[in-house]
Each structure stands twice: as structure tokens, then as C-alpha cells.
Amino acid sequence: MHFAIRKRRYFAALCAVAVFAIELAAFGQLTAGAAYVPAVSTLSIGLYFDASALPSANLQNANGFGSGFEFGYYDGSRNFVPIDAWTEETSITMVMDRNMTWHPEVAESAGEYREGMEGPVVLGCFHIRVEEWHETYEQAASAAESYAGSYYDSFVKYDSGRFYPMIGQYTTRAQAQEAAGARGLSDCVVDAGTTNTIAVVRTGSNKILFEFDDGQNSFLAVRPRTIYGEKPETWFRGYRYYGGFQYSRRNGDFISIVHYVDIEDYVKGILPYEMNNEWPMEALKAQACTARNYALTSTNTHGVFGFDLCVTEHCQVYRGRNDANDRTDQAVDETVGIYITYEGELCRTFYASSNGGASENIENVWNEAIPYLRGIIDPYEADVAGTLSSYYWRITYTPEQLTQRLRNREINCATIVSMEVSVYTPTGNVLSVTMRDANGAAFTFSKREELYAVLGVPTQRFDIGNRKHGAGSIYVNDPVQIINVSANDRFYAVDSSGAVVAVQDGATYAILQSGGVENISFDGGGNSASDNGMINGLFTINGSGRGHSVGMSQWGAYSMAEYHGKTFDEIIKFYYTGVEVG
């Protein structure tokens, strides 16, 4: 069995959780006896933006030879508004309206345009614009071709609701003015565009197909034309997508690309990247439901950049159609319209790779308490823990290294000499860690972000030094039932005959699930023999799991489906307390 999975990290800061209750009002509603109906069915996904914005962006029809593209814009309700402008070209590129040159050697994007005027293919940004505008694209296209005398040298520009005939592409204003004079065009101007203008060209050429400029009122949208009724797909930078694309120069420079996609197609582009597409169907269906919920409760996460979600682990890993197969599509199709709710409201369904043996209350990880995100003991990961190379982990620091980590955070401390878990949660995860320096000063760090920043721990499920889940405590039967012990307590065991016998005096050892052997003897204060957090001179952290431990464990879902016959709704209800699925 192949157990590969993409590891996730989640929000470095959950500011969105603080406005959770306010945001939910916009997402939809649940009426008595009726299924939940979300307020939106289309999501906007940021592909390239801010520092990752591009000088040009290619699109290519993916279905056969394709049927070209149509142009328009997306309104405030995420609807594509066509402007009855189109092209039959199957490979197009959106570029800044500047002097650009084609660079076919850029393999990542199958070639791109960059600013400059040297190269075999140069695209000029100065054009002749005939001041006679038209109400339709077709009228302007016909006029442009008649003025230019050829299709190749003519195109149409959409400018604030009007269509203008355009001629040529020149690298200087003087060249454009000279060409206008030679053509006998008196009623024209030289148009060099604005900081908002985007040109659409035939990929790899200097043939301009269309230009769009509506200031900051609306932005160019491009979507593939339907091929014989087939649902079209588009290649963009090595990935295949359903849906359309929006192009904007929000800062007047490079182009931001936002992908508009139906919620179900979005989930189909998440599932094979968040779970292995060969995993059990019920686990895939549980993931489909949680991903759908999470997306709809995270709309406008990146509103400052003009879209809902990004494509990274910060939101959810989204890569379109490349790795999707019949199984992942089936998991989405069989859960269409199924949402996870709590008291009639859509749930924010966090999930992570694994929890190490217990999930955690969200307020013990980030901030605000949410009633359905409660920590639970998770016995299911044990079925797969031994097969995952990174499930159990150990981190060590010298006193000097740990001290420097604190100083890097501008904490004024002497050399750290001890470290201990100061508070465990009821499920056995770490809530806070306290360190002491050589001067006796104490420094306490709590919850996920601080613990990760200071210690680099991948989960909050760990112990320090020889201590095991609360110094002076031993767990009986499960990690919630605890007995406290001291050096005067005797330990008893059941021998092969069933008799209860006392364990011999002296050091007591236990065999861990990982197979290691640890000393669990205690000193007079009820603490383990190594109470400064060090083993052999190193601060030693032993833990399990990967992720924030809030909500569903992906590996736990795998185990529940594969080894315990659990259905997707049973998986969901196990990890999210008191929810409804339907």
C-alpha cells in the first residue's frame, strides 16, 4: 500500500477565526427540514498576485484543438459578463501593454513575454486608435480591418464600455504617428495604453488580438469557448483548469491572475493534492466534504488582493485537473450538496495530516473557542503510525542553540538551563512550555504558533526529556484517566499466570509504541529522573504527528475507512463534535 500524502501546514495566524461568526452570515442558510444552501457557487482563486504577479500569462485550449476564447469581466457576484468579444485562436497570451519581447526558452510557462525591444519577436505598445468608436466588437473589428487593410495589422480595444478600431504595434510614438500619416488617417490618436491596459496576443507572435482597459472598474476576464457542448479545460503554466481567468494590473505593473471556478470543480482540484487519489473512497468523500466546507467558510480570505483563496497550504492546496482521476471525481460527485453544519450554521472544517494520537480544542491551538472543534482521543492513527517514516519525531537542542532561538526572537535571556511542559491539555497535548535560564528567569510559551516558532515542533503532541505526559503522572487505560505517583509508590503487573505481582524495586522501564525503551522511574517530587528536559546534555523533544491537530486527521480518516469500515459521515462526526452531515 502506498502511503504518500502531501503534508499540510495551516494558517500561520488565524485572524479569520476572529470574524468567524460574522462571516458565516454571508455563506448561506439552513432551513428546517431542508439541506444547507450556500450563498455562492463560484470561488475566486489567486494563482499569481502581489510579489508573484507576471509580465505575461499564456492560456491554451486543452480539449482537442479547442474552440478559442471569449472575453468579458466578472461582476461583484462572481458572474462572467460577456462583452461579445472573442477569438478563435487556441493559444493566447495576456501581456502588459508595454514594449515586450518573446522568450521561448522559459520552460516553466512554455515561453513568456518580457519587457524589452531586442529579440526575434518584438511587441510594440504604441498603436493607432481611430477615434470612431462602436457599440459592438464586431462593428469595431470590421472597421479596424478596413482601415488597416489586413487582419494581422488590426485589432479592437475595449475602453470603458466602448469598442475602438486599432491599428498596428510600434515601439515608439514617432513610428505610430508616421504610420498614421502614411495611411491618411486624420481622425486618430497614438494610443500607448494606461497602467491598466492588458493586451491579448497570439502566443509567440506580435499579433495583437484584443485589448482591454476599464480602469479599476472591471478587469479582463477570459474563458474557453465550449466545444460541442463538452466542458472545456484550459492549460495554464502546466496545469489544466475548468472555469475562467481574470487579469488585472492592480499596481499598474505586472499582471495578477485570478481563477474563477465552480465550487465542485474547485473541490475536484483539491482532493488529489490533499489526499492520495488511491485512498479509500469513504476517506476521499470525507475529505471532499471538509474541503468544500472549508472553502465556503474562507471566502474573501485574500480580499485585499481581490480574491477568496490562494492555491497553497495557507488555504488549501489547489492544482486543477492534473492529478484528478475517476475516483477523486467520484468522491466529489457523490457528495455534491452535502455540507457539515452545527446548529444550522456552516462549520469551518480544519484538517491536518495527523494528530499524533489526539486532536485538540481549537482555543488551545489558536484563539477563539468553537463548539464543534473539540479535542478527542484518536485511536485510529495507531493502525498506520508504524508505516509512516515521519510520524514519530525527535528534536534536540544544545543549551546554546535553544538560548539563541530565544534571543533571535528578541528575548533577553541568559543561557537556558531547563525546559519542561508546564501545562498539558486533557487530551495529553502540550498547552505551554516553560524554560528557565541560568539567572532563574522563567519564559513560558503557549499554543501552536509560539511553540512552533521557539521549538520548531510539528505538533503540540510531545514530551520533553524523560518526562511522559505530565511529570509525576501515569496514564491508565487512556490519556484522560490519570494517577499521580511518587517515589514511595510501588508498581504492579499481571504475570503469565494471571497473578498480580509487585514490580522489583529500582528503575522501571516501559516499551513505547515506537519500539523504544524509556526509563519511567520517579524522584521524590514525583518527577522523572531527568527533570531539566535534557538527555545526555541535549534538550530532547519526542513527539508524534504532523499538523495543527484541529479537526480531522487525514491519516485517521484513512484508517477509519480502510481498517474499520467507517463511512464518510461517520468519519466526519468523529472528528467534529455534534455536527450534522447532509
User: pLDDT value at position 512?
Assistant: 52
User: pLDDT value at position 506?
Assistant: 45
Are 56 and 94 in contact by the 8 Å Cβ rule? The answer is: yes
User: pLDDT value at position 175?
Assistant: 97
| Residue 167: pLDDT over 50 | yes
Specify the pairing of strand 482-484 against strand 473-475. Answer: antiparallel
Kindly list the domain boundaries of the chain, sorted by start residue.
15-43+274-366+551-581, 46-260, 392-544
Which of 152-161, 224-233, 493-502 has the least mean pLDDT? 493-502
Specify the pairing of strand 208-213 against strand 154-159. Answer: parallel
Give the distance, in angstroms, between the CA of residue 133 and the centroid of all CA atoms in the same chain: 44
Return the closest-CA partner of residue 5 out of 545, 572, 574. Answer: 545
Average pLDDT over residues 111-133: 96
Average pLDDT over residues 565-570: 98
User: pLDDT value at position 498?
Assistant: 59
Looking at the DSSP bridge assignments, the partners of residue 392 are: 544
Which of 46-60, 223-237, 464-478 holds the top average pLDDT?
Answer: 46-60
In terms of DSSP H, where are the helices of 355-496? Answer: 382-385, 399-408, 447-455
Residue pLDDT, tens place only, 269-321: 999 999 999 999 999 999 999 999 999 999 988 988 999 999 998 899 999 99
108 to 57, 120, 238: CA distances (angstroms): 11, 20, 7
Residue 496 — pLDDT band, cuts 50, 70, 90?
low
Instruction: Report which of residues 247 and 65 the model is more confident about.
Output: 247
Residue pLDDT, tens place only, 321-344: 999 999 999 999 999 999 999 999
User: pLDDT value at position 52?
Assistant: 95
User: pLDDT value at position 479?
Assistant: 39
User: pLDDT value at position 135?
Assistant: 96
User: pLDDT value at position 474?
Assistant: 43
d(CA 224, CA 198): 18
| Residue 470: pLDDT over 50 | no
Burial class from Cβ neighbours inside 10 Å (0-12, 13-18, 19+) for residue 127 reads buried
Looking at the DSSP bridge assignments, the partners of residue 240 are: 235
Looking at the DSSP bridge assignments, the partners of residue 257 are: 48, 247
User: pLDDT value at position 503?
Assistant: 55
Q: Output the average pLDDT for the chain.
A: 87
| Residue 7: pLDDT over 50 | no
User: pLDDT value at position 66?
Assistant: 75
User: pLDDT value at position 107?
Assistant: 83
Q: CA angle 358-541-412, nearest 5°? A: 115
d(CA 443, CA 416): 10
d(CA 425, CA 376): 11
Q: For residue 388, give every residue at least 6 positions away whose Cβ sits within 8 Å of its Cβ, in sequence order, or none.
A: 3, 354, 555
User: pLDDT value at position 477?
Assistant: 44
- Whole-model pTM? 0.82
| Residue 526: pLDDT over 50 | no
d(CA 78, CA 503): 70
| CA atoms within a 13 Å half-sphere pointing along the CA-CB vector of 200 | 32
Q: CA angle 299-160-102, nearest 5°? A: 80
Are 170 and 193 in contact by the 8 Å Cβ rule? The answer is: no
d(CA 329, CA 487): 59
Residue pLDDT, tens place only, 224-255: 998 777 899 999 999 999 999 999 998 788 99
Give the percent of the chain with pLDDT over 70: 83
Instruction: Report which of residues 490 and 203 the model is more confident about.
Output: 203
